Amino acid sequence: MPVLRDGSVLQTERLLLRQLTPADLDDMAALLGDPEVMRFYPRPKTRDEAMGWIEWNLRNYAEHGFGLWALVLREDGTFAGDCGLTVQQVEGEAFVEVGHHVRKDLWRRGLASEAAAACRDFAFDTAGVDRLIALIRPENVPSRGVAEKIGLMPWRETVRARLRHIVYALPGE
């Protein structure tokens, strides 16, 4: 995975995306522990689970060349969330998913769409992905909007953690 001079993996107009490290634990624990940010998950994550999340992504970087990356505001270096690519199983088949979490005080500024578009381009241009997906709960209207904004469309449905999900995909069949 190419790392740019400033330590980032990807850059957008307003964001740097860089690898997560154990030093991000406080920020990730606050993000993943926030009930509003995690409202479409079975539950918020504990601090230990947030560390597990970071460790999972470190393994993803090593194994796949991608994972969820820290989102950092270019203007002041503030941690804004995470966004990136992970391999997900859907009914026994492996797909690369684009996913994101943004701090709630930064919602509705287009940061998730901006980061997800950069990750979409990385998936196709650098990682050689054939089909990019996003697993989204039907009631998660903001994430559905992000998926559609970056060109993903509803493809099929699945159940994960006993919860119904729409599988958005690009390209679709």
Q: Name the band, by pLDDT with cuts 50, 70 and 90, for residue 5.
A: low
**pLDDT reading at 106 higher than 80:** yes
Neighbours of 135 (CB within 10 A): 21
Q: How confident is the model at residue 172 (pLDDT cuts 50, 70, 90)?
A: very low
Smallest CA-to-CA distance from 24 within 39, 10, 7, 12 is with 7
Nearby residues of 39 by Cβ (< 8 Å), 6 or more positions away: none
Other residues' Cβ atoms within 10 Å of the Cβ of residue 140: 17
- The confidence score (pLDDT) of residue 53 equals 98
pTM (2 d.p.): 0.93
pLDDT mean over 44-67: 97
Share of the chain above pLDDT 70, in %: 95
In 3-state terms, what secondary structure has residue 40? coil
Containing 53, the helix (H) or strand (E) segment is helix 47-64
CATH topology of domain 8-170: Aminopeptidase (3.40.630)
Cα separation, 12 vs 115, whole angstroms: 7
Sheet strands (E) in the chain: 8-11, 15-19, 68-73, 79-90, 93-102, 132-136, 153-160, 163-170
Given CA atoms 58, 67, 35, 90 in this order, what sign does their dihedral have?
negative
Could you give the CA distance from residue 81 to residue 7 in angstroms, rounded to a whole number? 17
pLDDT digit string (tens) for 112-139?
999 999 999 999 999 999 999 999 999 9
Give the Cβ contact number of residue 82 at 10 Å: 25
